[in-house]
Amino acid sequence: MPQPAPRTTAAAAPARPRRRVQWVDAAKGLCIVLVVIGHAITELANHGYATGIWAQVNFILGPVRMPLFFLASGLFAAKALSESWPRLADRRIWVMVWLYVIWVPVREIFHALIPRTRVDEPGILAAPEIADPLAWPRLAARMAHAVVEPTSYLWFLYALAMFAVASKATAKVHPGIQIAAAAALNVLAPFAPVSWSWNFMTQMYVFYLIGMYAAPWIFAMVARRNPLVPAAAVALYAAGAGWILATHDTFNEGNTGLLRFALSLVGVTAAVNLIAMAEGTPLIEPFRRLGARTLPVFLMHIPLMAAIVFLANLVLPADPGLPGQPVLLALAGIAACLGVHRLLMAHGGRWLFARPERLRHAG
């Protein structure tokens, strides 16, 4: 996602050229790779492909994936607290609203255009949803319902807009109180029985606030490059994950409440320190490069992977059972996203990824 120059306090400083922080970009790049692999697992499983150990790996890394992304997003959000509401809305709210309004129907219509297929069954099993006029009201209803409850991976856009509003509205409340309240929401998960997306959003807010208010300490911590910090964090994470696996039938059964929150904290601590320690090395360079271009991947990866799987279903007689199939699909999906993004940007499609300049009314 696009980001302003890093700041460590809420006080506004004189304007200066934007610069990137390598380890933060790499962290976002790692997040998007893990997100795409997770969705690749679901896409493959739904179409009859084996996913092997990757489904379990996806569950085990779940407590780190999105918390790391929202913490990284919060690291550069403190400046918004000193901005006027109109400027905040212009830079951090309306841009997300624009993208959400554009991509909810794009996603729904794209998926409605794809016929139903499976790799282990020949040909097309059912016509695309959009071919049935009786399905059009359902399609429209899903788009309308997305106004009050995100029902797809686009929930992250909704969340970033809501987080900008909430943090600005509570800017005069002591940060410790804000973080404690958000942590309670994470642990108690009051929306879990009624809405998976609102549950995710309320769970992620605490990490956005930690990134925002603890940015000076986080940057100072990773600058020390102390190997004992990630080593201890990895050990704690492994112990917690191991206990869940040993005492529950599935990882998600035990990944709840205070333990889930603790796993996320130590997992994010391990991740930011390990990534920062590898800063400037070839190991994280691909993640750094991807981290500066996460938006088109977030927006398009599921529709494009669905298209890739649809084509594979028509060509393959059976599941090839290749090692690491979710990773292969994820890499193909990421490459497709970046390629399609470049093509759209070169042919007038910038409005799909950024709010048109004429709609800006900064105050």
Asked whether residue 64 is assigned to any structural domain, the reply reads yes
Q: What average pLDDT is seen over the chain?
A: 93
Q: Which of 264, 221, 305 is nearest to 47 (CA)?
A: 305
pLDDT per position as a tens digit, 10-21: 343 344 445 789
Asked whether residue 80 is assigned to any structural domain, the reply reads yes
Q: According to the model, what pLDDT value does residue 11 have?
A: 40
* CA 179 – CA 166 distance, rounded (Å): 12
Asked whether residue 75 is assigned to any structural domain, the reply reads yes
Asked whether residue 17 is assigned to any structural domain, the reply reads no
Q: How confident is the model at residue 178 (pLDDT cuts 50, 70, 90)?
A: very high
Q: What is the mean pLDDT of residues 64-88?
A: 93
Q: What is the mean pLDDT of residues 58-81?
A: 94
Full residue range of the structural domain in which residue 183 is found? 22-357
pLDDT value at 357 more than 90: no
Question: How many domains would you assign to the chain?
Answer: 1
Q: According to the model, what pLDDT value does residue 360 have?
A: 77
Q: According to the model, what pLDDT value does residue 4 have?
A: 43
Asked whether residue 10 is assigned to any structural domain, the reply reads no
Q: Please list the residues that pair with 126 across neighbouring strands.
A: 116
pLDDT per position as a tens digit, 112-129: 999 999 999 999 999 999
Q: How confident is the model at residue 361 (pLDDT cuts 50, 70, 90)?
A: low
Q: What is the mean pLDDT of residues 49-71?
A: 95
pLDDT per position as a tens digit, 212-260: 999 999 999 999 999 999 999 999 999 999 999 999 999 999 999 999 9
Q: According to the model, what pLDDT value does residue 7 have?
A: 42
Asked whether residue 226 is assigned to any structural domain, the reply reads yes
Q: Please list, residue by residue across 102-130, b when 16 or more beta carbons sit within 10 angstroms of its beta carbon and e when fewer do.
A: bbbeebbebbbebeebebeeeeeeeeebb
- Angle in degrees, CA 158, 164, 166, rounded to 5: 95
Asked whether residue 5 is assigned to any structural domain, the reply reads no
pLDDT per position as a tens digit, 124-177: 999 999 999 999 999 999 999 999 999 999 999 999 999 999 999 999 999 999
Asked whether residue 321 is assigned to any structural domain, the reply reads yes
Q: What is the mean pLDDT of residues 333-355?
A: 97
pLDDT value at 2 more than 80: no
Q: CA 230, 159, 93, 33 torsion: positive or negative?
A: positive
* CA 330 – CA 34 distance, rounded (Å): 9
Helix (H, G, I), strand (E, B) or coil at 222: helix
pTM: 0.91
pLDDT per position as a tens digit, 293-320: 999 999 999 999 999 999 999 999 999 9
- Angle in degrees, CA 103, 95, 216, rounded to 5: 120
Q: How confident is the model at residue 37 (pLDDT cuts 50, 70, 90)?
A: very high
Residue type, 171: A
